[in-house]
Amino acid sequence: MTDRQRLPARRGALNFEVEHNLRRYTATLGFHDDGLVGEVFVTSTKAASDSQIIANEASVAVSFALQYGAPLDAMAAAMPRNEDGTPQGLTGAVLDAALAIMSEVAL
């Protein structure tokens, strides 16, 4: 098992919006010093709702996976998809949006 790569106390971050199932979310990517994504935070516009709880839990799971070396693109590819290729769930939607943003930033 790979050792966990903790993020520095002060780190770069990038905010973006995601819409899934007619609900808006704000996501934040936190970066390691080398520019790799090391955490994801997702918040819903409905505090204390089921959607916010799901967003929080998914954020923790994805962030731990990233810090243990799971690639962002591999996690996105593993998410359940609709027939048209769009993600079925919020986590897939956030990962897809994060990948799109990271490809724009890398240009």
Maximum Cα–Cα distance across the chain: 41
pLDDT value of position 107: 52
Which residues 6+ apart lie within 8 Å of 7 measured at CB? 30, 31, 32, 38, 39, 67
Residues 92, 95: Cα–Cα separation, whole Å: 5
Residue 1 has pLDDT above 90, yes or no: no
Please write the tens of the pLDDT for every residue from 78-106: 999 999 999 999 999 999 999 999 988 76
- Mean pLDDT of the 44-49 span: 81
Question: What does pTM read for this prediction?
Answer: 0.90
